[in-house]
Amino acid sequence: MFQRLKSLRQAAALPFVWTADGYEVLLVTSRRRKRWIIPKGQPIKGLSLADVAAREAEEEAGVIGALAAEALGAYDYVKASD
Protein backbone atom coordinates (compact mmCIF):
# COMPACT_ATOMS: atom_id res chain seq x y z
CA MET A 1 0.00 0.00 0.00
CA PHE A 2 1.28 3.46 -0.87
CA GLN A 3 1.24 6.25 1.65
CA ARG A 4 0.70 9.87 0.74
CA LEU A 5 3.31 12.21 2.13
CA LYS A 6 2.22 15.66 3.12
CA SER A 7 3.97 18.64 4.56
CA LEU A 8 2.13 20.63 7.22
CA ARG A 9 2.95 24.05 8.56
CA GLN A 10 2.45 24.34 12.29
CA ALA A 11 3.36 26.75 15.06
CA ALA A 12 4.77 25.31 18.28
CA ALA A 13 5.55 26.61 21.75
CA LEU A 14 8.49 25.57 23.90
CA PRO A 15 7.53 26.86 27.36
CA PHE A 16 10.54 27.87 29.43
CA VAL A 17 11.56 30.14 32.27
CA TRP A 18 14.91 31.79 32.97
CA THR A 19 16.19 31.17 36.52
CA ALA A 20 19.44 31.94 38.35
CA ASP A 21 20.64 28.46 37.31
CA GLY A 22 19.74 28.89 33.62
CA TYR A 23 16.75 27.92 31.52
CA GLU A 24 14.13 25.47 32.76
CA VAL A 25 11.89 23.90 30.11
CA LEU A 26 8.36 22.78 30.96
CA LEU A 27 7.80 19.17 29.95
CA VAL A 28 4.29 18.49 28.65
CA THR A 29 2.53 15.15 28.19
CA SER A 30 -0.50 14.38 26.07
CA ARG A 31 -3.67 13.47 27.94
CA ARG A 32 -4.57 10.40 25.96
CA ARG A 33 -1.27 8.65 25.26
CA LYS A 34 0.82 10.22 28.04
CA ARG A 35 3.67 10.91 25.61
CA TRP A 36 5.96 13.93 25.67
CA ILE A 37 4.74 16.62 23.28
CA ILE A 38 5.43 20.15 22.22
CA PRO A 39 2.19 22.14 22.07
CA LYS A 40 1.57 22.93 18.40
CA GLY A 41 -1.19 23.72 15.96
CA GLN A 42 -1.93 24.75 12.41
CA PRO A 43 -1.98 28.43 11.41
CA ILE A 44 -5.21 30.30 12.11
CA LYS A 45 -6.33 33.07 9.78
CA GLY A 46 -5.89 36.45 11.44
CA LEU A 47 -3.33 35.23 14.01
CA SER A 48 0.46 35.37 13.78
CA LEU A 49 2.35 32.09 14.16
CA ALA A 50 3.56 33.34 17.55
CA ASP A 51 -0.02 33.92 18.66
CA VAL A 52 -1.02 30.45 17.43
CA ALA A 53 1.85 28.93 19.42
CA ALA A 54 0.82 30.86 22.55
CA ARG A 55 -2.78 29.76 22.13
CA GLU A 56 -1.75 26.10 21.78
CA ALA A 57 0.46 26.33 24.88
CA GLU A 58 -2.48 27.60 26.89
CA GLU A 59 -4.96 25.07 25.47
CA GLU A 60 -2.71 22.01 25.71
CA ALA A 61 -0.63 22.79 28.80
CA GLY A 62 -2.35 25.63 30.65
CA VAL A 63 0.72 27.80 30.15
CA ILE A 64 0.41 31.58 29.89
CA GLY A 65 3.42 33.82 29.45
CA ALA A 66 5.31 36.33 27.38
CA LEU A 67 6.32 35.51 23.83
CA ALA A 68 9.94 35.60 22.73
CA ALA A 69 10.82 38.40 20.32
CA GLU A 70 12.02 35.91 17.69
CA ALA A 71 11.33 32.29 16.81
CA LEU A 72 13.73 29.83 18.40
CA GLY A 73 14.03 27.94 15.14
CA ALA A 74 12.25 25.80 12.58
CA TYR A 75 11.90 22.09 12.03
CA ASP A 76 10.75 20.35 8.87
CA TYR A 77 9.43 16.83 8.66
CA VAL A 78 7.16 14.85 6.42
CA LYS A 79 4.27 12.99 8.00
CA ALA A 80 2.92 9.87 6.33
CA SER A 81 -0.87 9.55 6.15
CA ASP A 82 -3.25 6.90 4.86
What mean pLDDT is predicted for residues 36-42?
A: 92
What would the pLDDT profile of 16-35 be if each residue is shown by its tens digit? 999 999 999 999 998 889 99
What would the pLDDT profile of 63-82 be if each residue is shown by its tens digit? 999 988 888 888 777 766 65
CB atoms within 10 A of CB 54: 21
Residues 16/25, Cβ–Cβ less than 8 Å: yes
Task: Using DSSP, state whether 52 is helix, strand or coil.
Answer: helix
Q: What are the CA-CA distances from residue 51 to residues 6, 33, 55, 61, 78 (Å)? A: 24, 26, 6, 15, 24
5 band by pLDDT with thresholds 50, 70 and 90: low
